[in-house]
Amino acid sequence: MSLLEPWPWYVAGPLIGLVVPLLLIVGGRLFGVSATLRDACAALPVADQHTPAFLRYDWRASGRWNFALVAGIGLGGFLGLQVLGSAEATLALAPDTQASLRALGLTDLSGFVPRELVAWSALTTGPGLIVVLGGGFLIGFGARWAGGCTSGHAISGLADLQVPSLVAVLGFFVGGLFMTYIVLPVLL
């Protein structure tokens, strides 16, 4: 396997799973990315009387760790996309998925994001605005309400056999399937 080819699931999955024990051993921390969003909100320079109680805490204790981690993820994304590069170019989607996307009106299936939706130029269209801003909003709101996102619940929580995490993951799929089968065909 060349580093430049897309990595198969049985290589990438265990590599991601290993982050959980590494974080526990290094800092006693359970892997979860969306808590960073709470830390970032808490770190915003907003007067206390305008800040919800949920965001009034010492964000430095957890925030500095989390900010270092996500800055690293950003750098890793740069290395992956701009230096290694070709995983993006060799995206082989299932034929059924391609047919379904074309039926939705998406013609450019290259790259990691649909350029007709996720691009600065697409923000002038309703669907583009809803996908980028609406999607971001729902992820931030939902992850904090559920107490975690894919990493915190689907990976860390399930690995620790937490039933609440299983409920959250089932919720992820109920929402995701509804969006994929009901909303996207209407929106796009």
Partner 1 sequence: MNPASDLTPTRTSASLSAPAPSGWAYVGYGLLGVYLGVVFTQSQVISWFRIYEMFRFDSFHMYGLIGTAVGTAALSIALIKKLNLKTLHGEPIHLAPKAWGQARLPGARYWMGGILFGLGWALLGACPGPIFALVGGGISVMVLALAGALVGTWTYAALRPHLPH
Tokens of 1: 């396997």
Q: Is 113 in the site for partner 1 (CB under 8 A)?
A: yes
Q: Is 188 in the site for partner 1 (CB under 8 A)?
A: no
User: How many Å apart are CA 188 and CA 181, to the nearest integer?
Assistant: 12
Q: Is 38 in the site for partner 1 (CB under 8 A)?
A: yes
> Is 91 within 8 Å of 112 (Cβ atoms)?
yes
Q: Is 138 in the site for partner 1 (CB under 8 A)?
A: yes
103, 180, 185, 186: which one binds partner 1 (CB under 8 A) = 180
Instruction: Write out the binding residues for partner 1, residues 143-162 only, by CB under 8 A.
Output: 143-162
45, 173, 185, 186: which one binds partner 1 (CB under 8 A) = 173
17, 105, 126, 185: which one binds partner 1 (CB under 8 A) = 17
Q: Is 124 in the site for partner 1 (CB under 8 A)?
A: no
47, 48, 52, 186: which one binds partner 1 (CB under 8 A) = 52
Alpha helices in 44-152 (DSSP H): 59-78, 86-89, 95-103, 126-129, 135-146
The pair phi, psi for residue 132, each rounded to 5°, is -75, -55
User: How many Å apart are CA 129 and CA 97, to the nearest integer?
Assistant: 23
91, 102, 105, 125: which one binds partner 1 (CB under 8 A) = 91
Tokens of 146: 């559920």
Size of the site for partner 1 (CB under 8 A): 135
> Is 32 within 8 Å of 148 (Cβ atoms)?
yes
Residue 164 has, within 13 A of its CA and on its CB side, a CA count of 7
Give 12 or 105: the residue with its C-beta nearer to partner 1: 12
